[in-house]
Amino acid sequence: MSKSYQINQRMNLHEYQGKEILSGFGVRVQRGVVATTAEEAVKAAEKLTQDTGTQWYVVKAQIHAGGRGKGGGVKLAKNLDQVKEISSQIIGMNLVTPQTPKEGKKVHQVLIAEDVFYPGESEPKEYYMSILLNRAKGKNMIMYSTEGGMDIEAVAEKTPHLIFTEEIDPELGLLPFQARNVAFNLGLEGEAFKEMVKFVTSLYKAYIASDANLFEINPVLKTSDNKILAVDAKVTIDDNALYRHKDYAELRDTREERPIEVEAKAAGLNYVDLDGNVGCMVNGAGLAMATMDLIKQAGGEPANFLDVGGTADAARVETAFRIILKDPNVKAILVNIFGGIVRCDRVAQGIVDAYKNMGADIKVPIIVRLQGTNAEIAKEIIDKSGLAVHSAIQFQEAADKVKEVLK
């Protein structure tokens, strides 16, 4: 992994999709029905009352971002008229939260959820819980806190002693005493204690079986009648495992993803959009990470992570160039190819052909470093092309040329 960057290939899910997955593994969740119009929302509320008996409803915007409540995307409706009114306000709005771009994200659907904060024998209590990989230790970790419903980063900063962790050996799995530790540290007893042990056990089972990168439940709620359930669910699935979960792959909502990344994926390119000024086109993820560090050391910032794979022909190179150049912040493109199976001279010819096809569309300098099979021939092809392409063979030479064109 690069010192400067960590690229995680993952698929984010909506809250209602995450809850469906959790429920399938026996995790108790706040029940709800998704709706795309105000009229559908009213029907969803009516169905919810039939199924659960709830008389109040929570209208929740479904976008891939946290902090929805702060932006006005989560509201309580006390009757069907309010469900219709609130849903019509939220659906179609651009919801701005601390985790969205400045312009916000358009809301295409809402989740009509049951009211779970009903009165009873005890006070409801909110907790925080997440499951993720502790990369440093090579173990899965349950992170949890008594301070639910809050920004966990703020809790970590101001009251770190209120955050607990359980590290789980992947060979042994979650042991019964660890699930009990969670319930104990959260201060639960009696029926609520037993319910929390069951909840944690089922949640970890779901995390492993779904090949998830992250489960974040904020809040986990102890209801007034001592049930434990997930009120919210942030679930991200490892992209590399989707071949094992065809049903999960169908849950992808490309409206929530950056259009440029969706286009690259359709073209078979591994592309992640970043905030820098130097576009990267590399073959192999490891070399791509090293190239990003190289750009950083040369005084630039990577504008993307792009792995063209082993087939760098003219058509593929042209597609990659066009995707990179859609970013208006790109001031230069660095092509860094190691020719192993694919010969460098073929890649060089592909770059030249792509450049000629694109013509005036290329308005930024291009630095090309080709190393490996027929690298010298490749350099000659580029140098003799008469195009405004800077060729390099050594890593440092490429870095110097990046620094030069950015001046």
Q: What is the CATH number of the domain that holds 357?
A: 3.40.50.261
CA–CA gap between residue 77 and residue 364 (Å, rounded)? 54
Looking at the fold, whether 40 and 147 belong to one and the same domain comes out as no
Looking at the fold, whether 177 and 134 belong to one and the same domain comes out as yes
Residue 2: the pLDDT is 40
Q: Which of 170, 171, 109 is nearest to 140 (CA)?
A: 170
- Report yes or no: 230 and 30 within 8 Å, Cβ to Cβ: yes
pLDDT digits over 382-403, tens only? 888 888 888 887 888 888 888 8
- Give the range of the structural domain holding residue 84, as residue numbers without chain letter: 31-115
Looking at the fold, whether 21 and 90 belong to one and the same domain comes out as no
Residue 387: the pLDDT is 84
Furthest-apart CA atoms within the chain: distance in Å: 83
Q: What is the mean pLDDT of each run of 10 residues along the chain (407 residues)?
A: 51 97 98 98 98 97 93 96 98 94 94 96 96 95 92 87 96 97 97 98 98 96 97 95 95 92 87 90 86 88 85 79 91 88 84 86 89 88 87 84 85
Looking at the fold, whether 293 and 358 belong to one and the same domain comes out as yes
CA–CA gap between residue 83 and residue 113 (Å, rounded)? 11
Q: Choose one of 115, 143, 158: the last residue of a domain.
A: 115
**3-state DSSP call for residue 43?**
helix
CA–CA gap between residue 176 and residue 117 (Å, rounded)? 29
The upper half-sphere exposure of residue 285, i.e. CA atoms within 13 Å in the direction of its Cβ, equals 11
Looking at the fold, whether 308 and 340 belong to one and the same domain comes out as yes
Would the CA dihedral through 302, 339, 361, 298 be positive or negative? positive
CA–CA gap between residue 321 and residue 271 (Å, rounded)? 12
- Report yes or no: 16 and 200 within 8 Å, Cβ to Cβ: no
Residue 359: the pLDDT is 80
Q: Choose one of 115, 149, 167: the last residue of a domain.
A: 115
Q: Choose one of 222, 238, 255: the last residue of a domain.
A: 255
Active site (annotated) includes residue 271: no
Q: What is the CATH number of the domain that holds 239?
A: 3.30.470.20
Q: Which residue has the tokens 């049930």?
A: 227
Looking at the fold, whether 131 and 83 belong to one and the same domain comes out as no
CA–CA gap between residue 23 and residue 236 (Å, rounded)? 16
CA–CA gap between residue 76 and residue 92 (Å, rounded)? 18
Looking at the fold, whether 266 and 349 belong to one and the same domain comes out as yes
Choose, from 147, 166, 216, 318, the residue flagged as catalytic.
216
Residue 238: the pLDDT is 94
Active site (annotated) includes residue 167: no
Looking at the fold, whether 145 and 68 belong to one and the same domain comes out as no
Looking at the fold, whether 220 and 335 belong to one and the same domain comes out as no
Q: Which residue has the tokens 């609130």?
A: 86
* Token duo for residue 70: 């702060």
Number of folded domains that form the chain: 3
Q: Which residue has the tokens 């029940």?
A: 31
Looking at the fold, whether 15 and 59 belong to one and the same domain comes out as no
The torsion angles phi and psi of 361, rounded to 5 degrees, stand at -70, -20
CA 177 to chain centre: 32
Q: What is the CATH number of the domain that holds 96?
A: 3.30.1490.20
Looking at the fold, whether 46 and 100 belong to one and the same domain comes out as yes
pTM for the predicted model, two decimal places? 0.84
Choose, from 16, 128, 144, 204, the residue flagged as catalytic.
128
- Hey, what's the torsion of the CAs at 260, 352, 404, 371, to 10 degrees? 90
Looking at the fold, whether 74 and 217 belong to one and the same domain comes out as no
